[in-house]
A and B are shown apart, each in its own frame.
Chain A
Amino acid sequence: MKEEDVLVLQEPRLTAAERLYLPQILDGMGTTLRHMFDLGRRQETVCQYPEDTREGRGELRLATYRGVHRLNKDPDGRVACVACFMCSTACPAHCIHIEAGESPWPDREKYPVKFEIDELRCIYCGMCEEACPVDAIKLTPNYELVGRTRAELIFDKAKLLQVFEETKAVKPRKNPAVTDYGLTGGQPRAVAQPNVERKV
């Protein structure tokens, strides 16, 4: 940056009326009065929540909204998670607790025996979603997260799978290329081994 790139601006001098401050105040009160009696603008701005929702008004981008988590199921209905601990490592709020066990299925080594997310501790940053190599954990557009106790809001595996069942119509699982843990050579299974029967 050179000397001549610097642009020196002079603050505009106030006129005499502006210095008196009163015309300015009256002007401002005119603005607030105008807004006060503008019912149309008010109805347009406000979303009266329980009756009216942001989804209903088409203002919520469901594809990118980060709400309650879910655990995806793979096409065979099994939990997609392979208990790699990537999400709980990435989690800045330390709200994911996984206990891994030996997988009963041949196409992966581990699966989560327990998978718990403390929804009250979570900051909904979506880093678990990004860390997951098998697209198992997802944040859904569901933001209506209520409970009477704190224990109620620690979601276990069953609850997270249930959330998947509830929200898969809104936000279907993408089934990325990396699924099936290296058996498909980086391609979706349907493309790589279309005729192979899956053993459960």
Chain B
Amino acid sequence: MQDPVVFRVERILRSPWLIFGAGAVLAGALALALWLLFPLYKGLLADPFWFPILVMAIMLNLILSSTAICILAERKIAGFTQDRFGPNRVGFWGLLQPLADGLKFLLKEDIIPTQVDKPLFLLAPAMALIISLSGFAVIPWAGEVRWPWAPDTLVSTQVASLDIGVLYVLAVASLGVYGVVLAGYASNNKYAFYGGVRAAAQMISYELPLGLGLLCLLLTSGSLRLEEVVRQQAQSGMWYVFLHPLPFLLILVSSFAEANRVPFDLAEAEQELVGGFHTEYSSMKFALFFLAEYAHMITGSAVLVALFCGGWAPLPFSSWLADSTAWWALLIKLGAYLAKVAVCIGLFMLVRWTIPRFRFDQLMRIAWLSLVPVGIALVAGTATLTVLGLQRTWWACLGLNLVALLGMLWTAARSGRTVTGRQDDLPDIHVEPA
């Protein structure tokens, strides 16, 4: 009996040397081509118009392929936290698993249910992915660089240097929910629709703490340009996470919600909504949603790192490389940025496999009853410090955060209810001893 195609494909995948060998040959050929063609494109590298386009092409591919690695990492971390090994069959240590996953998505049947709103149904996954990728435009990956062969031109590794960079990020991040809502609406399925509605409500709620946290930061930095925020942190060595730990926490929590990740993944909620907005999606369209989720997570992490963790600054409490524009500094800065983003993604994943999903009322209560009041208090406090000219003084900022934390503790101890609503309507029961 002839083996089915799947078996033959699987046999090829099970011989990792072939794949790794092919990969090594390809990479070698690419490196050789880059080396030999260097005189051809070195003019482009030093050109302020073409360099950002090259950066865009490289970073887009890097991010799309790193989503595959992220998926493998997520499954590995899931396995490790649950005392399992995770995928370890395809390739060495499961390293070819993303390839197998991608192949599976490509080979699966692509179903479009008959009763869906077809244009929107097809648009939704594309929109989710496009929006989550467009946030990368303003990330200052590695500052500015002066190439040795063109010492008088300064080129930036940022694709688009916007005056309103932070606002752009905010706008694009909240547009991300459109894909989800459209998918829920177009699917003509109550579960999917409910997922979309949940996503929209959640997005509206978590925009607020996100905006409030950003306000604290912007009052401190005084600039909406991401590269300016990063440069300030790199030059002073005082990353804003050390000045503003609570706003950082606000934005971290909100970006979990924006990326639709556990504990805020109520839009998919497998147990209640059988997958939520992507219930009706199969094959590559489902894979696009998957990619979009991870791309969104990477964007969120990159923005968080740029705003609070010093962006490309390699070391905290030091201004090393802050003003350097050498090409080797570019590599170190890019490495530092990507490493920080990787740590942040690791945190996202660890949280996913630690905390259970919130109930919807808990989600709302956390946003409106705890994050928003804290955010408003912090904004008021930071505004006061700004008026006094103390907004970049570490003791003033940390003092403000400490006062806010104590206030939170005091309120928590005084109030009869918890943030998660567990003891919301707990009656006081008095039992006489028998």
Interface residues of A (CB under 8 A from B): 4, 8, 10-11, 13-22, 25, 28-29, 31-33, 35-38, 41-42, 45-46, 48, 148
Is there contact, CB below 8 Å, between B408 and A20? Answer: yes
Residue of B nearest to A8 (CB): B431
Q: Which of B82, B410, B413, B429 is the one whose CB lies under 8 Å from A10?
A: B429
Known: A32-B354, A36-B77. A19 touches B418 (CB 8 A): yes
**Nearest Cβ on chain B to A9's Cβ, whole angstroms:** 8
Is there contact, CB below 8 Å, between B80 and A35? Answer: yes
Known: A11-B423, A48-B85. A36 touches B413 (CB 8 A): no
Query: In the assembled complex, which residues on chain B have CB atoms less than 8 Å from the CB atom of A16?
Result: 409-410, 412-413
Residue of A nearest to B415 (CB): A19
Is there contact, CB below 8 Å, between B83 and A41? Answer: yes
Is there contact, CB below 8 Å, between B409 and A42? Answer: no
Query: In the assembled complex, which residues on chain B have CB atoms less than 8 Å from the CB atom of A20?
Result: 408-409, 412, 419
A-B contact pairs, 21 of them (CB 8 A): A4-B434, A8-B431, A13-B423, A14-B422, A19-B413, A19-B419, A20-B419, A21-B418, A21-B419, A21-B420, A25-B351, A25-B354, A25-B355, A28-B354, A35-B81, A36-B77, A36-B81, A36-B350, A37-B80, A42-B84, A46-B83
Q: Is B1 an interface residue (CB 8 A)?
A: yes
Q: Is B320 an interface residue (CB 8 A)?
A: no
Is there contact, CB below 8 Å, between A45 and B412? Answer: no
Residues 77-131 (chain B) with a chain A CB within 8 angstroms: 77, 80-85
Q: Is B40 an interface residue (CB 8 A)?
A: no
Is there contact, CB below 8 Å, between A148 and B350? Answer: no
Is there contact, CB below 8 Å, between A17 and B81? Answer: no
Is there contact, CB below 8 Å, between A14 and B355? Answer: no
Among B409, B412, B422, the most chain A Cβ lie within 10 Å of the Cβ of B412
**Nearest Cβ on chain B to A152's Cβ, whole angstroms:** 10
Residue of B nearest to A28 (CB): B354
Q: Is B353 an interface residue (CB 8 A)?
A: yes
Query: In the assembled complex, which residues on chain B have CB atoms less than 8 Å from the CB atom of A15?
Result: 413
Is there contact, CB below 8 Å, between A32 and B420? Answer: no
Q: Is B426 an interface residue (CB 8 A)?
A: yes
Give bound CA distance, A33 to B413, whole Å: 29
Is there contact, CB below 8 Å, between A29 and B354? Answer: yes
Residue of B nearest to A39 (CB): B80
Give bound CA distance, A22 to B250, whole Å: 12
Give bound CA distance, A68 to B419, whole Å: 53
Known: A19-B418, A33-B350, A36-B77. A46 touches B413 (CB 8 A): no
Among B82, B83, B353, B420, the most chain A Cβ lie within 10 Å of the Cβ of B83
Known: A19-B413, A35-B82, A42-B85. A28 touches B419 (CB 8 A): no
Give bound CA distance, A4 to B420, whole Å: 34
Sorted from nearest, which 6 A-B pairs have the closest CB atoms? A16-B413, A19-B412, A32-B81, A36-B80, A45-B83, A32-B354
**Nearest Cβ on chain A to B321's Cβ, whole angstroms:** 31
Is there contact, CB below 8 Å, between B83 and A29? Answer: no
Residue of A nearest to B81 (CB): A32
Give bound CA distance, A65 to B367, whole Å: 51
Is there contact, CB below 8 Å, between B418 and A14? Answer: yes
Known: A11-B423, A14-B422, A21-B420. A31 touches B85 (CB 8 A): no
Q: Which of A10, A22, A36, A148 is the one whose CB lies under 8 Å from B1?
A: A148
Residue of A nearest to B413 (CB): A16
Known: A14-B418, A14-B423, A16-B412. A32 touches B83 (CB 8 A): no
Q: Which of B353, B410, B418 is the one whose CB lies under 8 Å from A32?
A: B353
Query: In the assembled complex, which residues on chain B have CB atoms less than 8 Å from the CB atom of A48?
Result: 85
**Nearest Cβ on chain B to A180's Cβ, whole angstroms:** 44
Is there contact, CB below 8 Å, between A29 and B426? Answer: no
Residue of B nearest to A12 (CB): B423
**Nearest Cβ on chain A to B263's Cβ, whole angstroms:** 9
Give bound CA distance, A78 to B106, whole Å: 53
Is there contact, CB below 8 Å, between A45 and B418? Answer: no
Residue of A nearest to B416 (CB): A13
Query: In the assembled complex, which residues on chain A have CB atoms less than 8 Å from the CB atom of B83?
Result: 35, 38, 41-42, 45-46
Query: In the assembled complex, which residues on chain B have CB atoms less than 8 Å from the CB atom of A31?
Result: 354
Query: In the assembled complex, which residues on chain B have CB atoms less than 8 Å from the CB atom of A36?
Result: 77, 80-81, 350
Known: A14-B423, A28-B355. A42 touches B80 (CB 8 A): yes
Give bound CA distance, A37 to B79, whole Å: 11
Residue of A nearest to B408 (CB): A20
Known: A8-B429, A8-B431, A13-B423. A46 touches B350 (CB 8 A): no
Is there contact, CB below 8 Å, between A45 and B84? Answer: yes
Is there contact, CB below 8 Å, between A29 and B350? Answer: yes
Residue of B nearest to A13 (CB): B423
**Nearest Cβ on chain B to A67's Cβ, whole angstroms:** 24
Give bound CA distance, A39 to B367, whole Å: 38
Give bound CA distance, A4 to B429, whole Å: 15
Query: In the assembled complex, which residues on chain B have CB atoms less than 8 Å from the CB atom of A38?
Result: 83
**Nearest Cβ on chain B to A51's Cβ, whole angstroms:** 11
Query: In the assembled complex, which residues on chain B have CB atoms less than 8 Å from the CB atom of A13?
Result: 423
Is there contact, CB below 8 Å, between B434 and A11? Answer: no
Query: In the assembled complex, which residues on chain B have CB atoms less than 8 Å from the CB atom of A42?
Result: 80, 83-85
Give bound CA distance, A80 to B423, whole Å: 65
**Nearest Cβ on chain A to B345's Cβ, whole angstroms:** 15
Residue of B nearest to A19 (CB): B412
Query: In the assembled complex, which residues on chain B have CB atoms less than 8 Å from the CB atom of A21?
Result: 418-420
Query: In the assembled complex, which residues on chain A have CB atoms less than 8 Å from the CB atom of B355?
Result: 25, 28
Query: In the assembled complex, which residues on chain B have CB atoms less than 8 Å from the CB atom of A32?
Result: 81, 350, 353-354
Residues 390-434 (chain B) with a chain A CB within 8 angstroms: 408-410, 412-413, 415, 418-420, 422-423, 426, 429, 431, 434
Give bound CA distance, A146 to B434, whole Å: 64
